[in-house]
Amino acid sequence: MKLSILLLLLGLVTSCQQQQTTSPREDINSQPILQEPAPVFGLDQASQLIELPLACFEKPYPYKLGQVLESAADLKEPRELHPVFYGCFDWHSAVHGYWSMVVLVKHFPNLPRAARVKELLVKNLTAENILIERAYFEKEINKPFERMYGWAWLLKLDEELTTWEDPLAESLAANLQPLTDIIVQRYKEFLPLLVYPVRVGEHTNTAFGLSFAYDYALTSGDVELQQLIAEHARKFYKADTQCPISWEPSGYDFLSPCLEEMNIMRRVLPAEEFTSWLSEFMPQLQQLNTGLEPVQVSDRTDGKLVHLDGLNFSRAWSLYALAKQYPQYHHLQQVAHQHMNYSLANLIDDSYEGGHWLGSFAIYALLQQ
């Protein structure tokens, strides 16, 4: 009898110890998850989203040049300087406006506005116009122009054109090729000179610039660029631990420094090495309670404050991609849905300050689901 009681007590102690040492990761599937509805992305939504780039596609003003003047001869109309990418307020927004239109027509060939999109692509994305765009980048004084944010979106546009199974896409990709080539060249020249990464939540974020370029390198088979990016991502980020996500967001962020870093490392590291690195870099992502809430936007007519809608979308695309690639992070889909639903509801009726660019972020995030 005494022996039986002793064995029972030992069993209870062992059970308690096992419960206490069970990690949240191991127990996560037994915990309830609040169900956030997934954003719908069908023909109706695509038909609404296509109106955003179409509204600014050939709209010359307002326009932000971001130009360094070498002489008075450089003072020209935006359309003269950038005969392709002169609408949508600035060069990079025009580039990802083109990307948005290509992606939507590619994924939804029955889109009511598909014929109009193709007409505009043929009209503007000509070989002659692209050579003028390239000439702008060839000037020594313009070497830093759009580094690396605009560069990354240009490569993403090229990637979509070259993988689009449409007779039109082949000629458009051929027209774009000279500009793509000089952007790739700029990456290869610049990365060996970059000693430290830029860790801000806006355009110059290094991790974002590397991520889209890495995708392009894989799609195009550019092994040299692929290896260069992987090498620098490791150099910049491999030793990082405990990313201070609680410091985010800064007031005007549209990218998460922590999640963008995670996203490039997700691309370049083998699975076992990546999951080990991520457990040290952002251990809270293993929990149901990640601490990530949709960020609030106080004024969508302010061109800087509306950046935060972009942060919701870019956080979502990072979390979707992680959850899709690694099943142990599947719970992050719900967090991504929350971020998407907060900002997506306001997008179609947004003012021009957000509407000229946010559609691209929403579309890219929706594609990652």
What is the C-alpha separation between 59 and 124, in angstroms, rounded? 13
Strand partners, 63: 89
Q: CA distances (Å), 293 to each of 327, 337, 340, in order?
A: 21, 11, 11
Residue 38's CB: how many other CB atoms inside 10 A?
15
The secondary element (H helix, E strand) that includes residue 320 is: helix 307-325
**43 inside domain:** yes
Structural domain contains residue 323:
yes
Angle at 14 between CA 9 and CA 18, to 5 degrees: 150
Supply angle C-alpha 359, 361, 362, rounded to 5.
Answer: 65
Helices 257-268 and 307-325, packing angle to 10 deg: 30
d(Cα 180, Cα 329) in Å, to the nearest integer? 35
What's the rounded Cα separation, in Å, for the pair 98 and 123?
A: 13
> What are φ and ψ of residue 89, in 5° steps?
80, -40
4-8, 95-99, 298-302: the lowest-pLDDT one: 4-8
Does residue 121 sit within a domain? yes
Which two structure tokens, joined as six digits, stand for 71?
Answer: 């002489």
The CB-side HSE value for 106 (13 A sphere, CA atoms) comes to 22
Tabulate helix, strand, coil % of the chain (nearest 5). 65, 0, 35
Backbone angles phi, psi at 63, to 5 degrees: -145, 135
Q: How confident is the model at residue 364 (pLDDT cuts 50, 70, 90)?
A: very high
Which of 176, 192, 266 shows the shortest CA–CA distance to 231?
A: 192
Map 134-166 to HEC letters. HHHHHCHHHCCCCCCHHHHHHHHHHHHHHCCCC
In a domain, 158, yes or no: yes
Domain that holds residue 196: 36-367
DSSP state at residue 245? G
Question: What are 152-169's pLDDT values in tens digits?
Answer: 999 999 999 999 999 999
- Give me the number of domains the chain comprises: 1
How far is CA 167 from each of CA 91, 95, 118, rounded to the nearest angstrom?
Answer: 27, 21, 11
304 vs 334: CA distance, rounded Å: 27
Beta bridge partners of 89: 63
What are the structure tokens assigned to 225, written together? 């660029």
What CATH number has the domain bearing residue 106?
1.50.10
In the chain, pLDDT over 70 holds for what percent of residues?
90
d(CA 35, CA 189): 47
194, part of any domain: yes
47-82 pLDDT per residue, tens: 999 999 999 989 999 999 999 999 999 999 999 999
What average pLDDT does the structure give for the chain? Answer: 90
Confidence of residue 24 (pLDDT cuts 50, 70, 90): very low
Show Cβ contacts of residue 47 under 8 Å, excluding neighbours closer than 6 positions.
Answer: 108, 111, 112, 113
- Give pLDDT tens digits for 177-225: 999 999 999 999 999 999 999 999 999 999 999 999 999 999 999 999 9
Residue 272 forms part of a structural domain: yes
Task: Tell me, yes or no, whether 200 lies in a domain.
Answer: yes
Query: Is pLDDT of 29 > 60?
Result: no
**Residue 242 is assigned to a structural domain of this protein:** yes
